[in-house]
Structure 1
């Protein structure tokens, strides 16, 4: 199955979806968004990474900034902060360059490495897009750069992570097709969410309207 461009979802949405399905739906389906300190810092970090949307060569690497990627199989598109092309016999030819080059995405994030897979899923999806676009071999690993630690973290792109990307995107496409915003299960993470004022998680602690009506009808039966 291949998705049309009209059905494409944002790769960046994977991180939000993994963090909270309701947050993703509010931002990407209902187009509601609020900035806070964390999101503002993230934007600045990404702007610095994208820089001039150019490419440069450093030793045995070619560094491309702000590279657009997509996948018809996954139904996504987006922009990679940085794609490094490493000299490798398993890579692909690049016009005007000798040899073969293997693409390796590098995603910039504020803060420090997370315990959950949110950032890793987004990075893996970028790599899967590059594999499809460039018809290269499987990219074995990619990197996350965190602003707080100012260090890279290598991410193995194994089958488990790739399978999770595909499964999560399938769920996202289904919610997008239905234009459905899931309910939320409030957690302590809600306090750090920029959409807390729009989501109103405390109001979601009660039952649904259907449950309320059913309960009321039972009282009169």
Structure 2
């Protein structure tokens, strides 16, 4: 809805995320003998047509490690892993290197979760890029899913997932 219908609404969760990211944006880059840390690093990939900003990228010896910050508690979430993989492929293209892992840092629990950037995750990323690109080209907003993600979504009042489900059920009953 944000990119196709140009609808965006803030709620407590989007504001919490913005606060976490503003804190990262305001942190200074730092260096010590073992590690260089860059915050708010612009990223892009010509090959995949991606661009964005990495929250943090750590340079440790010959390793380049993207770190994505999330405002919630530590959890396994495929969408977060795909976002991290997108950052990694941008860095790989920009810096002519290979990145095998990264981290998701959860602000609420103050814990990191390592994400292995294997072929399975990279394929899921490429499939997601293709699917999203197709939606954008067709200007086709996907149908609401009406699951637990909707409870805290700032766009719930615009896509009306519960109403959509009730209408679908009603139409099935008419048949």
Q: Compute the TM-score of the two structures, normalised by the length of structure 2.
A: 0.91
Cα-to-partner distance string for 1:85-124 (whole Å, 9 max, x where unaligned): 1112xxxxxxxxxxxxx32111110111233301111011
CA drift of 1:27 comes to: 1.2
CA contact (8 A) 1:50 1:82 kept: no
CA contact (8 A) 1:140 1:156 kept: yes
CA distance in 2, matches of 1:105, 1:115: 17
Pick one of 77, 101, 119 that aligns with 2:51. 77
**Secondary structure in structure 2 of the residue aligned to 1:127:** helix
Structure number with greater Rg is 1
| Count of aligned pairs | 172
Structure 2 runs not aligned, ≥5 long: none
CA distance in 1, matches of 2:157, 2:44: 32
Q: Superposition pairs for residues 207-218 of structure 1, below 5 Å?
A: 207=168
| Aligned structure 1 segments of 4 or more residues deviating by more than 3 angstroms | none
CA distance in 1, matches of 2:25, 2:124: 27
**Secondary structure in structure 2 of the residue aligned to 1:186:** coil
* Pair 1:58 & 2:32 matched: yes
Pick one of 64, 67, 71 that aligns with 1:106. 67
Which residue matches 1:140?
100
Structure 1 runs not aligned, ≥5 long: 1-25, 89-101
Pick one of 167, 171, 174 that aligns with 2:131. 171
CA contact (8 A) 2:74 2:112 kept: no
CA distance in 1, matches of 2:51, 2:123: 18
CA RMSD, 1 decimal: 2.0
CA contact (8 A) 1:56 1:64 kept: yes
CA drift of 1:74 comes to: 1.5
* Pair 1:129 & 2:90 matched: yes
CA contact (8 A) 2:34 2:60 kept: yes
CA distance in 2, matches of 1:116, 1:67: 23
